[in-house]
Amino acid sequence: MPLLNKICQTAVLASIVVSSIVWAEVTIYMCGDSTMQDWNEGYYPKQGQGQDFHFWFDKAKVVNRGQGGMSLGGGGKDKNGGIAVGYYDMFFKKGCSNGNCIAEKLQPGDYVVIQFGINDINYSTEDFYKSNMKKMVDDVRAKGANPIIMSPIRRCIFDSPTQIHNSYRGYPALNQQLAKDLNVPFIDMSEMVANYMISVGEKYAQQFVYNFSTKAEYSNLGADQSDQVHLQMNGANAYGRIITEQMRAHSDTVVKKLGEYMAPMYQVDVKVSPEGSAEATSISAYYPQGMTVLLKTIPKNGKKFLGWYDGNGNKVGASSRSEVKSAYIYTFKMGKASTQYTAVYEGGTAEKYTGDGAALTAFPTTTPKNLDDVTFVPYTPPEGSEEISVPVDKDIKRFIDASNPDSGVGNTENNWTGFIGKGFYNMENSNTSFASYKLKFPAAGYVTLAVRYANGGNADRTFNAYLDHDYYLKAPPTGSWDTWDTAYVVLDAPQGEAELKFMSTTSDGAPNIDAFGFSFAGVCRMGDESCEDSSDITKIATRGGVGQPAVRIRGNDLILAGNGPAQVSIFDMQGRIVARKIVGSGTLDLASTVGAAGLYRVVVKQGNVKFNGMYAKVK
Ligand code: GCU
C-alpha cells in the first residue's frame, strides 16, 4: 500500500515539523533550603525533595536549586551576628551575589517552585520574607514564567498520633496568605505532609520518611541518624509524589498543565508473608522509570526474615545502592512495568504478581485541608534553625597539620612558637581570605571538628568552616600569638571526599590556624599515604572479639563484651534522657530499663569504644 505508506510518512514528518516548532521544553526550578537540595552521595540515604524530582517528568526539565541553610528573606542576623543574605539576593535576582542567578536563566513558560520558611524563623523576619517573596514572584512573571508557592514540610515531631507539631511558627500560614495576595498558585506541603505522617504513623515516619537511618543499615554511615528535619530517599520521593499529585489536580490550569509533562508511573505492590510478621514495611506506591525504589521491612520481635522476593517468586539479588548493608532493605531502579515484591518471613511464601504490568492511568489526590482549620501553636524550636543539636565530642582522634592548605589566601608561617607539625597558616587579614583542605571521611554522620588556633589580638575572631554548609566557629583571644587554644563545632560529614574550607568573616581575618582534627577516626587528608587506610572506625567497633562488636543490641539485650565499666545513656526520640547507668560488662535488659514502648537511642561509652544505636521496645 504505497499510498497509505506515503500518507503515514507525511503525517510522521508533519508531526515532527510541527512538534519542533511548538515544542519548547519547559524547565521547573525547585527553590528551597536543605530539605530541597541535592545531598552528595556520601550522605546516603539523606535526600532533598528536589533531588530525584526530575524522574517524575519526561517532557519537562527539572533543575534543583535548593540551597542548605537558606532563608528566603534574609535581613535578620546571621550566625556571625552580621546581616543574613537571603536566597532572593544570593541566588535568584538578576545580578545575585552568588552568580548563576535563576532570574537570568528563566524562559517564558518555565515554572519556579518556591518553598521556604524553615530558616526564615532564624535569619529573617516576616516583613523581609513578604517583600522578597513579592520581588521573586515579580521577577518570575517579568520573564513570562510561572511561580508556585509551597509551604515548608514539617519536622517529624508527633505531638500526638493525630497532631504533627508546627515548628515553623507563622511561616506555613504566611506562605498561603502571600499566595493569595499575590495570586500565585499554592501547594500546601505543610498540611499535606502532616496528613501523610499521621496516616503512616510515627515509627514509619521516622524509619521510612525522615532520616533516622542507622549504620547497621548503611555502610557509609559512621553514626546513627535521628534527623527530624531532613528526609531519606524514600521520604523525599514520597513527598515528590505528593507534589506531583497536587500539580496534576491543581485548580490553576497552568499548574495542572504540568501533569501533561509527567512520565508514565508504575506501581510497586508490597506484601508481607505471613501477614503480621513485620513491625513496619514499605507501603505500596508508584514510581516513574529510573527512580530508585527502597523496600524495607522491620521484623516483629522473634520473627525471622528470609528475604525480599520479586513478583516471579524469586529471591532478589544485591541492592542497586551499594551502601545498603541491612538484609531488611532492598533497592532497585524502577523499570517500565508495574510489579510486586514480598517480604518473606519464616513460614511465608513469595506471592506471584498477577497484574499486567501496565502504567497507571489514575492518580490519587487528597485535597489539602484549609490552613484556617488548623490551630497554629506559636513555637520556637530549641535551636530555631534546621540544624540538629548534637553535643560536641572533644575526643579528637588525630590532628592534621593545617600549615599547608590545598589552596588559600594567606601564608604558611612558623615565626610563633607552640605549633604542632610544620607551622601554621596565617590567613590574610581580610574577610575574603580562606584555607581549603581536601579530605576523605570514612563514614557519614555528625562529627566534631576541632580547630587549634592562636588569636593574639584583643577581640574574638569568628570564622566559618565550610563543608557543604557553613558552620560557625568563634576564636576568643588566646593572650598571645604563641598561645594556642581549640575551637569546636559539630559538622554533618559525608562519606568520601569532601573539601573543608576555613573562611574569614571579618576584616581582621581568621585566627592563625595550626591544626584541625575530628572525633571520628580515619578522617584523612587526600594525598597523605595514610589516607588509603580509613579502617580505624571499624577496628574500634569490632574490638569485642572475632568479628563481634564490643557493644551491640540483640533483641531486648544491650550486650557489653568489652572490658571495664560502661556508661550507658538512653534517650527518647525527643532527645530527653530516659536512663543513665554505669554498668560492668555483661548484658543490660533494655526492655525493663526504658519503660514505655517506643524507639530509643542508646549511647554507650566503654573505654575507647563508643556505641550509638537504636532500640525499639515493642508492646
Ligand atoms: C600579627 C601576627 C600574625 C597574625 C596577624 C593577625 O601580624 O604576627 O601571625 O596572623 O597579626 O592579626 O592575624
Q: Which of 197-201, 273-277, 438-442 has the lowest mean pLDDT?
A: 197-201
What does the pLDDT look like over 104-136, one tens digit per residue?
999 999 999 999 999 998 899 999 999 999 999
Closest CA to 612 of 541, 562, 522, 519: 541
Q: How far is the CA of 609 from the centre of ligand 1 (A)?
A: 40
**Which residues are near ligand 1 (CB < 6 Å)?**
426, 429, 457, 481, 508-509, 512
pLDDT at 15: 45
Concatenating the DSSP letter of every residue in 470-485 gives EEEEEE---SSTT--E
Q: How far is the CA of 511 from the centre of ligand 1 (A)?
A: 8
pLDDT at 376: 40
Banded model confidence at residue 383, pLDDT cuts 50, 70, 90: very low
Task: Write 241-247 long-range contacts (CB < 8 A, 24+).
Answer: 241/56, 241/285, 241/286, 242/189, 242/192, 242/193, 242/196, 243/49, 243/53, 243/113, 243/150, 243/187, 243/189, 244/56, 244/363, 245/363, 245/364, 245/365, 246/187, 246/192, 246/365, 246/368, 247/148, 247/187
What does the pLDDT look like over 51-71, one tens digit per residue?
999 999 999 999 999 999 899
Please say if the pLDDT value at position 378 is more than 50. no
Domains annotated on the chain, with CATH: 23-263 (3.40.50.1110), 265-358 (no CATH), 398-532 (2.60.120.260), 540-618 (2.60.40.3080)
What does the pLDDT look like over 69-84, one tens digit per residue?
899 999 998 877 889 9
How far apart are the C-alpha atoms of 168 and 122, rounded to whole Å? 10
pLDDT at 574: 57
pLDDT at 429: 94
Going by their DSSP bridges, the two strands 146-150 and 111-115 should be labelled as: parallel
Please say if the pLDDT value at position 536 is more than 60. no
Banded model confidence at residue 368, pLDDT cuts 50, 70, 90: very low
Assigned C-alpha cell, 440: 576523605
Q: How far is the CA of 429 from the centre of ligand 1 (A)?
A: 8
- DSSP alpha helix (H) spans, 344-464: none
How does the average pLDDT of the chain come out, rounded?
A: 87
Which of 409, 416, 428, 429, when mutated, tests ligand 1's pocket best, judged by the most ligand atoms within 8 Å of its CB? 429
Q: How far is the CA of 378 from the centre of ligand 1 (A)?
A: 47
pLDDT at 552: 81
pLDDT at 602: 82
Assigned C-alpha cell, 353: 504478581
560 pairs with which residues across the strands?
A: 551, 586
Ligand 1: residue whose CA is nearest its atom 8? 481
Sequence-distant (≥ 6) Cβ neighbours of residue 236 within 8 angstroms:
47, 48, 49, 51, 52
What does the pLDDT look like over 129-156, one tens digit per residue?
999 999 999 999 999 999 999 999 999 9
Q: How far is the CA of 428 from the centre of ligand 1 (A)?
A: 9
Alpha carbon distance, N-terminus to C-terminus of the chain: 73
On the CB side of 315, how many CA atoms lie within 13 Å of its CA?
9
Q: Which of 94-103, 456-465, 513-522, 589-598 has the lowest mean pLDDT?
A: 589-598
**With helix as H, strand as E and coil as C, how does 554-592 read?**
ECCEEEECCCCCEEEEEEECCCCEEEEEEECCEEEEHHH
How far apart are the C-alpha atoms of 329 and 313, rounded to whole Å? 17
Instruction: Classify burial at 191, counting beta carbons within 10 Å of its beta carbon; exposed 0-12, middle 13-18, buried 19 or more.
Output: buried
pLDDT above 90 as % of the chain? 63
Which atom of ligand 1 sits closest to the CA of residue 416?
Answer: 9
More confident residue, 342 or 536: 342
Ligand 1: residue whose CA is nearest its atom 3? 426
Cα–Cα–Cα angle for 573, 579, 580, rounded to 5 degrees: 120
What does the pLDDT look like over 18-53, one tens digit per residue?
444 455 799 999 999 999 999 989 999 999 999 999
Cβ pair 324, 213 in contact under 8 A = no
- Summarize the confidence of residues 473-492 as an average pLDDT: 94
How far apart are the C-alpha atoms of 152 and 185, rounded to whole Å? 15
Banded model confidence at residue 159, pLDDT cuts 50, 70, 90: confident
Please say if the pLDDT value at position 618 is more than 80. no
- Summarize the confidence of residues 187-193 as an average pLDDT: 92
Q: How far is the CA of 426 from the centre of ligand 1 (A)?
A: 7
Please say if the pLDDT value at position 370 is more than 90. no
Concatenating the DSSP letter of every residue in 429-488 gives SSTT-EEEEEEEESSBEEEEEEEEEE--SSS-EEEEEESSSEEEEEE---SSTT--EEEE
Q: How far is the CA of 510 from the centre of ligand 1 (A)?
A: 10
- DSSP alpha helix (H) spans, 160-225: 171-182, 189-200, 202-204
pLDDT at 576: 65
How far apart are the C-alpha atoms of 552 and 542, rounded to whole Å? 10
- Summarize the confidence of residues 219-233 as an average pLDDT: 92
Whole-structure pTM value: 0.74
What does the pLDDT look like over 409-453, one tens digit per residue?
999 999 999 999 999 999 999 988 999 999 999 888 889 999 999
Which of 426, 428, 482, when mutated, tests ligand 1's pocket best, judged by the most ligand atoms within 8 Å of its CB? 426
What does the pLDDT look like over 573-616, one tens digit per residue?
655 677 887 787 788 899 888 888 777 778 787 776 777 777 77
- Summarize the confidence of residues 393-417 as an average pLDDT: 95
pLDDT at 547: 40
Which atom of ligand 1 sits closest to the CA of residue 511?
Answer: 13
Which atom of ligand 1 sits closest to the CA of residue 413?
Answer: 9
pLDDT above 70 as % of the chain? 88
Closest CA to 326 of 473, 215, 489, 178: 215
How far apart are the C-alpha atoms of 603 and 585, rounded to whole Å? 15
